[in-house]
Amino acid sequence: MFSGFMVNAWIVASVVAAIAGLVGFFTVLRGSAFAAHAVPNGSFAGAAGAVLIGANTLLGLGVFSLLSVLGIGWLGRRGRHDVVTALMLVLMLALGSLFLSLSSQYAPAVYSLLFGEVLGISSNELAPTIALAIACAVILAVIYRPLMLSSVLAEVGEARGVSASAMELGFLALLALATTMTVPVVGTLLIFSLMIGAPAAARSFTDRPGRALLLSVAIALLTVWAAIAASYSTDYPVGFFVGSISAAGYLLGRAWSAFSQRSHSTPGSSTRDYAATAA
C-alpha cells in the first residue's frame, strides 16, 4: 500500500485534499457551492479539448477554468448569479461533450476527467501539482483577511475599501487554480464532494474560523486517506469512498451541531467570531 506507484498517490492526494480543505472553507462560507460545481465542469471541457488536440491537459484545465470564472464573474454583475453560473455550466458541459465525441479516447478520457486517476499518478505529475498547490496557498494567505471580511460582512468590507466584486472575482480565480490542480487527481465530480463535504462538516463542529479552517483540511485529508486505503483493500473505486465518507462526515457534523445546540442553547456558528478574525 505504501510502495511503488502508491507513493505518488498518497503524496498527490494529500496535497489535493489540503488545498480542497482550504479553498472549500471559503466556498462554503461564501455560499458558492454551485460555482464550485460549475468551475470544475468548465475545466472538464478544457481537458477534453486538450485531449482532442494532443495538448497538455493541465493547460486545457487552466484555460477553461479561467474562462468559466471570467464568465461567472463578469456576467454575474449584470444578472442573477445563480442563473449565470448555471448557463456557464451548461455551456461548458456542451463543449466537453462535443470535444469528447470527436476524440478517439472517449471512454478512458471520460472516466479519467470525471472520476480522476488518483491511483495512476505518475512521478512527472508531482512537481506541477505541488507547484500549483503552493501558489493556491500563497494567494489565499495574501487575501485571507479581506476575503474573510467580504465573505462575512460585505457591507463593512466595502466601507473599509474591500471591493465585494473584486473579492468575488479573486476568489473565483483561486477556485479555478485549485480546480486545475485537483481535477486530474480526483476528477470533476469528486472535487465537488471533497471541497464541500469537509468544510461543511468542519463548520458544524466548531464556530471558530481558525479552528474550522484547520479542521476542514484535517477532514479532507482523512477522507482521501481512508478512501485510498479502502479502495486498495476492496478494489472498489476511490470516488465511491470519497463521496460516501464526505457525506458521512457532514451528517456527523450536523448531528454534533444539533447536540451542541441542545446542550448549550447556543447557535452552532457565530458571525461575530468570523468578523473579529477578519478585522
How far apart are alpha carbons 216 and 227 in whole angstroms? 16
- What does the pLDDT average to over 63-72? 82
Mean pLDDT over all residues of the chain? 80
Number of Cβ atoms within 10 Å of the Cβ of 108: 11
How far apart are alpha carbons 88 and 44 in whole angstroms? 12
Indicate if the pLDDT at residue 269 is higher than 70.
no
- What does the pLDDT average to over 204-213? 87
- What does the pLDDT average to over 64-74? 80
Q: How large is the C-alpha radius of gyration of the chain?
A: 19
C-beta separation of 231 from 241 below 8 A: yes
Q: What's the pLDDT band for 268 if we cut at 50, 70, 90? A: very low
How far apart are alpha carbons 150 and 199 in whole angstroms? 18
Burial class (CB in 10 A: 0-12, 13-18, 19+), 127: exposed
- What does the pLDDT average to over 74-101? 77
pLDDT at 238 (0 to 100): 80
Homologous superfamily in CATH for domain 5-192+270-274: ABC transporter involved in vitamin B12 uptake, BtuC (1.10.3470.10)
pLDDT at 113 (0 to 100): 65
pLDDT at 137 (0 to 100): 92
Greater model confidence, 88 or 265: 88
Q: What's the pLDDT band for 270 if we cut at 50, 70, 90? A: low
- Tens of pLDDT along 14-38? 998 999 999 999 999 888 888 887 8
Number of H helices, E strands in the chain: 11, 0
- Rounded to 10 deg, the angle between the 5-29 and 209-234 helix axes is 140
Q: What's the pLDDT band for 217 if we cut at 50, 70, 90? A: very high
Distance of CA 90 to the CA centre of its chain: 19
Indicate if the pLDDT at residue 132 is higher than 70.
yes
Greater model confidence, 40 or 137: 137
- Tens of pLDDT along 141-183? 998 988 888 888 777 777 888 888 788 888 888 888 888 777 7
Q: Which three cell numbers stand for residue 41?
A: 465542469
DSSP 8-state secondary structure symbol assigned to residue 266: -
C-beta separation of 50 from 60 below 8 A: yes
**How much is the pTM?**
0.81
DSSP 198-210: HHHHHHHH-S-HH
How far apart are alpha carbons 178 and 199 in whole angstroms? 15
Greater model confidence, 75 or 222: 222
